[in-house]
Structure 1
Amino acid sequence: MSATWPDSLFAAPLLRGLDEGGRRAIEGGGQLRSFGAGEAVFTAGTVSDDLFVVVRGEVELLARPRALSSEVELEARLVRVARAGETFGEEAALAADGLRSLDARAKTAAEVAVIPAVLFRRALGRSGRDLQEASPEQRLLRRQATANLLAQVPLTAELPELERERLLDAAVPEFRARGETIFERGDPPDGLWLIADGLVQLQSPGIDGEPRVRAYLRAGDVFGDAELLEGRARALTAVAMGHSQLSRIEVGAYRELVDRHPALLEAARRLNERRDAHEAAALAQAPSTTRHAFQDLYRMQMARSLLTIDQDACVRCGHCAWSCAEVHGVARLVRRGDKVVTRLKVVDQPDGAAQPAARELLLPNSCQHCKNPSCMLDCPTGAVGRDPEGEVFIREELCTGCGACAKACPWENIRMAPRGPSSAQQRWGEPLREAAERKGMDLLAMFPEVATKCDSCRAYEAPACVQSCPTEAIVRLEPERDFGEVAAFLGVDAPDDSEEGRGALGAQLSALAWPLALTGLGAASLIVCRLAVALHQGGGWSPGRSWGLAGGLAAAAVMGLLAAYALPKRGVRRWMRPRVKGARADEAPDRGRARSRVRPHFRAHLLLGLALPALILAHTGWSLPANASGLLALLAWITLALGAFGGLSYAWIPPALTRLERRGALPEDLATERERLEDRLQRALSGKSAVLKGLARDHLLPWARTLGGGAAMVLRGQSVSEARAMLRERVEGWLPEPLRRDGPRPQARAEALAGLDALLDVCIELRALTARRVLTTMLRGWLGPHILLTGALGVALVVHVAVMAGPALAGLLPWFGGAP
């Protein structure tokens, strides 16, 4: 064997059966690393991409007991010690998208072979073996992973080693894909379930038939124990919210264990109570409308960089999507998606501050750079990659356009797009060229499509969408860290030394400076306006001399600067700076948090717009002559009025519109929204009880179609969630006495009101629809005329300057030899 990799290393049980080719492959793609005593090999929670074999020395594996608060740090517990010839990090070989469950630390000076899990599987395949369920390698890996789990789970960690060995013999490894049911309500108990990796949701049926989330369980949790000893049917349904590695302890083995250790029952009860209390506390602190976040907590847990749009700041201009298309040729984000109401733990809350205000965020369809990307695992050519910062990207030169990644993405954030002929000629990888040559086909004909997704503009210093937002409403966040209730639920603390945390107070001061600047400049402009009008009326100022002329020149300059706002807003490609010149983008340093480049120009535009009325009045007073000068002044005032309306709309309408929207949608979607809602209404009533249909006919639909109902919601500042709560209480009063909340017939009530929640949602959206259309038109409708009038104003200004400067220029002609 090679002098680099000792023969003794391949005597490890997992590597023993490899042939010469498999050994060479592992040695070529793996690496030997040395660690000093006490040095970390990996930590819990990191992505498990590699399998490890100890060459010399010792490595200890430590379990970190989960604390109910991220402020409490519990002492790590030793699970086992891996010595020369032994493997650790087996979860990488079992599940390619898993996370580490243990800490690995060199107990002594150690040398460790690091073997990429993908390479290990390939080497086994070359040797005529694989990791199928029945293979010896799979059984060995699963047994060791289950042993680690039993030593880590609080319920079994304190048991004697002999008892854990008995449980290990009775453990059945199980795997569930996202959305798969583990057991259903009413099923007979089939064992005690332990979670090695993944996320499990416990559900009970809701009043309208929709599942109600009762609990979330994650790696290290135990569930299904309550019914085992009593032999009663399952009270809840358990569903895997992500790819979940589980172990099931047979019923008989668990009953025998409890007979030998009766104190285990009390320990299980205490663990369940602590878990329930922790989840209740996290939910109690959360805004009342965070149901979306907790319905798909797996998404929040997996997202490393989630694109979010603050709906109270977003002016629905679509400039983010336009900028994306301008840079990449096709937009890689769609401004449709779920909305969550959350408290941003890091960005909003400086040290010692009170509970931060809830923000309503849109989660548009855009890649969230998962910690364990399903798309990367399903790509057959390796076209989907992940850089050292965790950003997931697509190598177009390797993409065949098969669509496997788009199908694998649980949130539909990858789309297939036609491959551009000009770019395709330069972006064909060798494997694609060889495949086309074998079939005798044109490359573009054989591979007409390419997968597209957001890669956070990895070739540039910062994402185009974030840099181009005029109101800085769009930002990428890590929900597990930045969403307050998600972080509390998962027991993750925000980093104390984060840039956002240190700058929170500064951000608040900066937020105060902007309204103070607007107010101060507005007041100063108003004072100058009154003074200028008075001086013009008294004859002290005139348009052609002194301060009047200076005001006119200044007004012309400000008009030019106002029109120049279009340059930074539309010149996205000019100010998008390459991340690294002449080097690979994935070798560049961390970019840090991106900021908008357009927002300072937008604010300057508003400030200049506030100053312009004072300069116009300083030049003309209230004079409006019936000539080109009068037309210029009229155009200026109309353009200013539209701009002022737009500025006020940008400040007032987005929060009002947010309160009326249940989901993120494009403005153009509103044209067909009523038809969609009417269709939902028909489906909400189809097959439902006579009681529910009567409520809809007599009360709910008349309320939804009341003239001015949406306007009333806007004037009262009422959100759809508040309207729903109010309407829900009214329904109680409309119901017959026996069917009310505290009535004598709860079963009949549940049957009669099945589907009520969906019906209420439709009725509230119908009531708010007209107001949404009006507000959206107000928010967007002024901009087109404003731009057209700005162009007309520029032409009128040129004509005015030519007319006014004509006599002066004529007087200068004799000096240059012209006619007198």
Structure 2
Amino acid sequence: MSATTTAPAPAASTKRQEIVNRHAILEAIRGLAAIEELVEHEEGRGYKFSVDLEVAVYGRNYGPGKKVGPYIRMYDYAPGQAIVRQGDWDTNTFYIIVSGAAEVFVTGVAEPVAVFESGKPFGEMGVLAGAPRSATVIAHRQRGARALEVQRPALRILRKLKRFGAALDIAYRNNGRAAAASQLQAPDDLKKKIADIAEFQLAARGHVLASEGERIRNLILIRDGWVKRISQTQAGEVADYLGPGYILGFNALTVRDARFPYRALAMSRTETLEISVEALYRDPQLLESLKSALGAAGEIGTPLQPAKALTFKPAAKAAQDRLLDKGLADANNLLLMDMDLCIRCGNCSLACHEMHGQSRLKRIGIHVLRPRTPTHAKLDQSLLMPAVCLHCKDPECLTGCPTGAIARFEGGQVDILPSLCIGCGDCATQCPYNAISLIPRSELKKSPAKPPAPSQNGKSALAKAPAKAKDAASAADPLDPFAALGLRFDPKPSPVTQDEDLVAIKCNLCNNTPLNPKDATGKPAYAAHKYNCEENCPTGALKRVKPAEYFNEIAQIHGPALRQAGAMLVGNRFGHADRTKTLAHAVGVALTLALCGATMAGIVQYGLGTPLFKSDWLNFRWITGLVGLAGIIIVMLYPVRRQMWRRRGGALKAWMLSHTYAGVIAGTLILLHGGTNLGGPVTAALMISFDLVILTGLIGILLYQLGPRLLTKIEGEPLLAEDLLRRRDELYQEIADLTVTAQAQAEKEGRGTQFQQVFLPARDRVIRAVLSLGFLLRQYVRREDLDALLADVRKRFADAANKQATAADQDVMRQITEAIATIRRIDALLYIHWALKLWLPPHVISTSVMLGLLAVHIVQVVYYLWR
């Protein structure tokens, strides 16, 4: 083999050959010590694990479309043929060599780094850790290989076998240790020595890696996951966070018998490499080499006095705590909604619905406040992580699937194969983010539906609905203008009324859809992958990100010890900034100023009717009319683009900007075109309708700029309008219940008259004061959080409570005061929600009238010009 820096190219011309003889598979299992117990016989009873063996090797049919297994298959690989490839995301299978051997290659190394002989399992790191393949494994170049391919669901069966668990654990730890050591930013000889004395460990969320005051026996290198360091003080706990690439306990290399000055807690599934301190002291040269190579990763201080690289402002630490506590930093593909930009239109959910036939995106989820830039000291960016799949590094949904229907595929995304799904719902119950839904399989086969408002509110659908659904639908206004204009959209799926023939659905990142088609060879037709929800957001509020690249506060807690950490992860210093959008704004402003300025200068110099360029008809009235008409055509392309749900048409935010700037240009030029004389009735009506279009459009722009930002200031957790309405009704009912209960108690005690003369008037005064217009406007002016508002209201109306006859009545009055103040806060939020939509019907109607009158005007102009 030549001395090159790459592994030999695996044989690509041959395909692996499956051994379909089940007897041969059983004999192979019998010859492998780790799993031979699976085919063990019990005298007089047959196979000890007969049902498990049937499912694993033969497969078992539980009814139509309910087959599970087989999970163990056997293949022959030709010499040099690839079994797994480094970097692949095939995290659903691992292998056991039956005969022959396999050679292991890693990038940059010409010779095999290991040879797997018969009985050796490999590939388990991908299954257990959810990580891409860390090496390329090929069949031995002289002997070839025969191997068992074991799918993820078989783990639940094989773990019952005593020897398999031990063998898998040993293989996992050995391979993990080698993989972790190979990632160190250290010379190769140091990596090998560290691997010889280190142990690979796996800790679950909440596991204590080190206790405060405990003697440091091992250096703890964080290979993957997140660690929270906690120091106890008289004032309470002080904590900070560390990510991959940092080393705990490094001070033991300078102070013998040193102790941990903090408690270390795993915040997620965390892989560590533990290096024995005693072994290092027995080899002083190794100790000094390790200190020299990895010292920067170990000099981390304490939570009370952290190293400079780990010193963050309180706002950044609060964001770290939220992101790590909720597991968001472990997402492979995270969907964010910047609530300062979100206009609550629901277009993202509708786009998902149009693409898949069912919306997999719910506009509720986890709310995070963070500093918009690293230098900000305030939590001034409000982000919502909607209930949609995060494609986690360690997906819990995969662990319980009995058929392997849900798995990780190319690119790292987690997806569901409907053909294998039996609708058991195990994945949905395991998902901590409520990102998986169950629907009838018949719904999955339907082509993507039209907007759901007509089908949900229409008489035909209501006639077929259950009684409860009819009652709910009858409460809706049949003349709802939002529904009539397609502006009301409920992304929640219809309730499932049956428990048979269900299938699980979730976000698949728009793979295998018209938005991301593949060519004849199966490769993506476009270089850039697109997401329909993001593409159809009119303001650019949605963004799919990798947490360590977007969140600066997460990027900065990656340590320098590992190759993939450090300088590669720089975070996003500008929050949700969009350079393309910024450039579009710059071009739009420049074009608007240039065209409008040049037109006004020309009119001042030449007037509207003066012929130009020795022409009989070309003048500034024609120029302003034609350019205005071109602007109107560009403006009207936006609603056309809005209907392009299932194919690429450019990001909707870019079309919204072109719609806005073309509208401003067209509006200005048309106003100049009209001059000071309105002309005949049609022309006058056209100009008035055009003025209304401009006015409503400008109101919409103003609302889109101010509304979302005002909402984020006063809403706390982002809520949908329907949730706010439901909560408001609950609070009104709570006030009524409190009043009825207090009055009944007063009458029971003989205080009925006093209650009516004192309690009820005081309650009504509080309600009138809080529900006043002034108190509503206060919400928008002061923009105080709800806790501060309630505290002020309690103080302001303290006399209303204190004048009550009993302590119980005083407490009820305080509860009513807080409830009515909360209702007024909800009103303030609802008015903004409604304002973001109410401007649109007048804008659409005036635009329709304007277009009709414009057509008549154009016909008139052409007629008078050519007659």
2:318 maps to 291
Alpha-carbon distance in 2 for matches of 1:209, 1:61: 54
2:842 maps to 785
Counterpart selection for 1:50 from 94, 98, 109: 94
CA shift, 1:199, in A, is: 3.7
Q: Tell me: CA distance 1:770–1:19, structure 2 relative to 1, closer, same or farther (3 Å).
A: closer
Contact 1:185 1:237 in 2 (8 A): yes
1:452 maps to 505
Q: Tell me: CA distance 1:281–1:767, structure 2 relative to 1, closer, same or farther (3 Å).
A: farther
Q: For residue 309 of structure 1, what is the amino acid of its counterpart?
A: M
CA shift, 1:27, in A, is: 8.3
2:744 maps to none
SS at match of 1:572: coil
2:430 maps to 408
Counterpart selection for 2:392 from 370, 375, 385: 370
Once the two structures are superposed, what CA deviation does each residue of 1:179-212 show, in whole Å capped at 9, x if it has no partner?
Answer: x555998999999897998646446599999987
Q: Tell me: CA distance 1:142–1:218, structure 2 relative to 1, closer, same or farther (3 Å).
A: farther
| Comparing 774-783 and 466-475, the one that deviates more | 774-783
Q: For residue 521 of structure 1, what is the amino acid of its counterpart?
A: T
Counterpart selection for 1:316 from 344, 347, 354: 344
Q: For residue 472 of structure 1, what is the amino acid of its counterpart?
A: G
Counterpart selection for 1:142 from 127, 148, 169: 169
Question: Are residues 1:570 and 2:643 paired?
Answer: yes
Question: Are residues 1:118 and 2:126 paired?
Answer: no
Contact 1:311 1:658 in 2 (8 A): yes
Contact 1:624 1:634 in 2 (8 A): no
Contact 1:195 1:219 in 2 (8 A): yes
Question: Are residues 1:650 and 2:704 paired?
Answer: yes
Alpha-carbon distance in 1 for matches of 2:729, 2:257: 52
SS at match of 1:793: helix
Alpha-carbon distance in 2 for matches of 1:235, 1:221: 13
Size of the alignment, in residue pairs?
665
Question: Are residues 1:14 and 2:26 paired?
Answer: no
Q: For residue 32 of structure 1, what is the amino acid of its counterpart?
A: Y
Contact 1:341 1:361 in 2 (8 A): yes
2:852 maps to 795
Contact 1:48 1:91 in 2 (8 A): no
Alpha-carbon distance in 2 for matches of 1:364, 1:332: 10
Please list, as runs of the form range in 1=range in 2, the aligned pairs for 1:88-237 lying within 5 A after superposition. 89=122, 91-92=124-125, 96-99=128-131, 115-118=148-151, 121=154, 130-132=158-160, 135-146=162-173, 176=204, 199=225, 201-202=227-228, 204=230, 213-216=239-242, 236=263
Counterpart selection for 1:87 from 110, 113, 120: 120
Question: Are residues 1:337 and 2:337 paired?
Answer: no
CA shift, 1:367, in A, is: 1.2
Alpha-carbon distance in 1 for matches of 2:565, 2:262: 36
Contact 2:28 2:98 in 1 (8 A): no
Q: Tell me: CA distance 1:149–1:535, structure 2 relative to 1, closer, same or farther (3 Å).
A: closer
Alpha-carbon distance in 1 for matches of 2:549, 2:434: 23
Q: Tell me: CA distance 1:358–1:81, structure 2 relative to 1, closer, same or farther (3 Å).
A: farther
2:586 maps to 515
CA shift, 1:609, in A, is: 0.8
Alpha-carbon distance in 1 for matches of 2:263, 2:730: 34
Alpha-carbon distance in 2 for matches of 1:208, 1:417: 54
2:465 maps to none
| Comparing 773-782 and 216-225, the one that deviates more | 216-225
Question: Are residues 1:464 and 2:508 paired?
Answer: no
Q: Tell me: CA distance 1:184–1:420, structure 2 relative to 1, closer, same or farther (3 Å).
A: farther
Contact 1:335 1:365 in 2 (8 A): yes
Q: Tell me: CA distance 1:29–1:216, structure 2 relative to 1, closer, same or farther (3 Å).
A: farther
Once the two structures are superposed, what CA deviation does each residue of 1:783-817 show, in whole Å capped at 9, x if it has no partner?
Answer: 232112212223333455567778899x7xxxxxx
Once the two structures are superposed, what CA deviation does each residue of 1:409-438 show, in whole Å capped at 9, x if it has no partner?
Answer: 121111233454583799xxxxxxxxxxxx
Percent identity, please. Answer: 21
CA shift, 1:512, in A, is: 3.6
Alpha-carbon distance in 2 for matches of 1:195, 1:676: 52
Once the two structures are superposed, what CA deviation does each residue of 1:48-106 show, in whole Å capped at 9, x if it has no partner?
Answer: 842454966785799x9xxxxxxxxxx99x9995553362547449x644447976789
Q: Tell me: CA distance 1:315–1:551, structure 2 relative to 1, closer, same or farther (3 Å).
A: same
Please list, as runs of the form range in 1=range in 2, the aligned pairs for 1:444-593 lying within 5 A after superposition. 447=500, 449-460=502-513, 461=516, 462-491=530-559, 508=579, 511-512=582-583, 514-522=585-593, 524-526=595-597, 528-529=599-600, 532=603, 547-548=620-621, 551-552=624-625, 555-556=628-629, 558-573=631-646, 576=647
Alpha-carbon distance in 2 for matches of 1:556, 1:45: 53
Once the two structures are superposed, what CA deviation does each residue of 1:283-322 show, in whole Å capped at 9, x if it has no partner?
Answer: 5468924634444438345322212234444333221111
User: What is the TM-score with the length of structure 1 in the denominator?
Assistant: 0.61
Alpha-carbon distance in 1 for matches of 2:240, 2:672: 68
SS at match of 2:507: coil
Q: For residue 569 of structure 1, what is the amino acid of its counterpart?
A: R
SS at match of 2:538: coil
1:328 maps to 356
SS at match of 1:396: coil
Contact 1:649 1:779 in 2 (8 A): yes
Where does structure 2 lack aligned partners over 5 or more consecutive residues?
1-17, 41-52, 59-69, 185-189, 449-495, 517-529, 735-769, 793-818
Alpha-carbon distance in 1 for matches of 2:447, 2:73: 33
Alpha-carbon distance in 1 for matches of 2:260, 2:329: 31
2:299 maps to 274
Q: Tell me: CA distance 1:203–1:537, structure 2 relative to 1, closer, same or farther (3 Å).
A: same
Contact 2:421 2:504 in 1 (8 A): yes
Q: Tell me: CA distance 1:783–1:8, structure 2 relative to 1, closer, same or farther (3 Å).
A: closer
How much is the aligned-residue C-alpha RMSD, in angstroms? 6.6
Alpha-carbon distance in 1 for matches of 2:505, 2:538: 25
Q: For residue 455 of structure 1, what is the amino acid of its counterpart?
A: N
Q: Tell me: CA distance 1:257–1:791, structure 2 relative to 1, closer, same or farther (3 Å).
A: same
SS at match of 1:393: strand
Contact 2:340 2:382 in 1 (8 A): yes
Counterpart selection for 1:607 from 644, 661, 664: 661
Question: Are residues 1:32 and 2:103 paired?
Answer: no
Contact 1:414 1:453 in 2 (8 A): yes
Alpha-carbon distance in 2 for matches of 1:329, 1:210: 52
Contact 1:50 1:116 in 2 (8 A): yes
Please list, as runs of the form range in 1=range in 2, the aligned pairs for 1:378-389 lying within 5 A after superposition. 378-389=400-411
CA shift, 1:508, in A, is: 4.6
1:597 maps to 651
CA shift, 1:569, in A, is: 0.6
Q: For residue 450 of structure 1, what is the amino acid of its counterpart?
A: V
Alpha-carbon distance in 2 for matches of 1:773, 1:120: 48
CA shift, 1:407, in A, is: 0.9
Contact 2:32 2:98 in 1 (8 A): no
Contact 1:556 1:797 in 2 (8 A): no
Q: Tell me: CA distance 1:9–1:329, structure 2 relative to 1, closer, same or farther (3 Å).
A: closer
Contact 2:250 2:299 in 1 (8 A): no
Q: Tell me: CA distance 1:9–1:294, structure 2 relative to 1, closer, same or farther (3 Å).
A: same
Alpha-carbon distance in 1 for matches of 2:429, 2:833: 34
CA shift, 1:476, in A, is: 1.8
Q: Tell me: CA distance 1:221–1:801, structure 2 relative to 1, closer, same or farther (3 Å).
A: same
2:48 maps to none
CA shift, 1:215, in A, is: 3.6
Q: Tell me: CA distance 1:61–1:100, structure 2 relative to 1, closer, same or farther (3 Å).
A: farther
User: What is the TM-score with the length of structure 2 in the denominator?
Assistant: 0.58
Alpha-carbon distance in 2 for matches of 1:545, 1:421: 60
Alpha-carbon distance in 2 for matches of 1:666, 1:558: 35
Contact 1:35 1:41 in 2 (8 A): no
SS at match of 1:381: coil
SS at match of 2:434: coil
